[in-house]
Amino acid sequence: MPNALDEARRELALANRIVANEGIIDAFGHVSMRHPENQNRYLLSRSRAPELVTPDDFIEYDLESQPLRDPGVGQYSERVIHGEIYKARPDVNSVCHHHCPAFMPLLATGTDYMPVFHLGAVGGIRPPFWDQRDEFGDTNMLVVKPEEGASLAHALAKHWMVLMMRHGVTVAGTSVKDCVFRSVFSARNAEYQVRALTIGTEIATLSPGEAKLAGQISSKTTGLMRSWEYWSMRVANKAAAPASVASKAGSSRTKTSRMRSKASPKRAAKARRRR
């Protein structure tokens, strides 16, 4: 029988690699999940780039964002984002915090996120903004204090996404796969929305009814698993690519070496005739 915690670690490691591979997260940002066997704990990687995260990197935290034991490695400073949301929202089982470039124009201008295509409905209509400065004054913009994480969780409320002014985005999901789906397609929507705004005409956004129905695509169709399978394949292909390229390069070098070896007697004969 597969161990539930081991399976969870593998899924979460893949989730981190997917959001990195899809351009949602770079060296900064993180994806967590609620512990599969204990609602009062969650799993979050040690401090490293998400694209490099492995199942062995996860640290187990309580909802106060304290590790159950000294991990002996660096930890993400913004882990309270995850702990405070899990504390406030029992229905949330995964959280992604990112700084996707597609969102930055909206976050810099305070422009509402609006779904402009059906899959963008996963971000909701006008999800809330949270401005750290309003409550905590000037900071380095990192969410490191429990009270800051609690304020962010309060702003998220019953929504699935909260926009953090001049900072990034935090997305919640009912599962790891759901959280990744929301993170990827809300980012795609933000990109399309910003592009549409540059045209200068009125944007045709989804109606509340359309957004409600389209928002169920991930849960009522095969869309969620189809997307997860596709993203997983892209991660696997990327992981295999360097070895493949190296193999081709090695084969090319060997071929060139053989050609030179075969050609060398002829070159030697010509050199003798010239002498």
Catalytic residues: 78
Spell out the residues 6+ positions from residue 232 whose beta carbon is closer than 8 angstroms to its own. 14, 18
Residue 158 tokens, joined: 């019953």
Q: For 129, list phi and psi in degrees, rounded to 5.
A: -100, 150
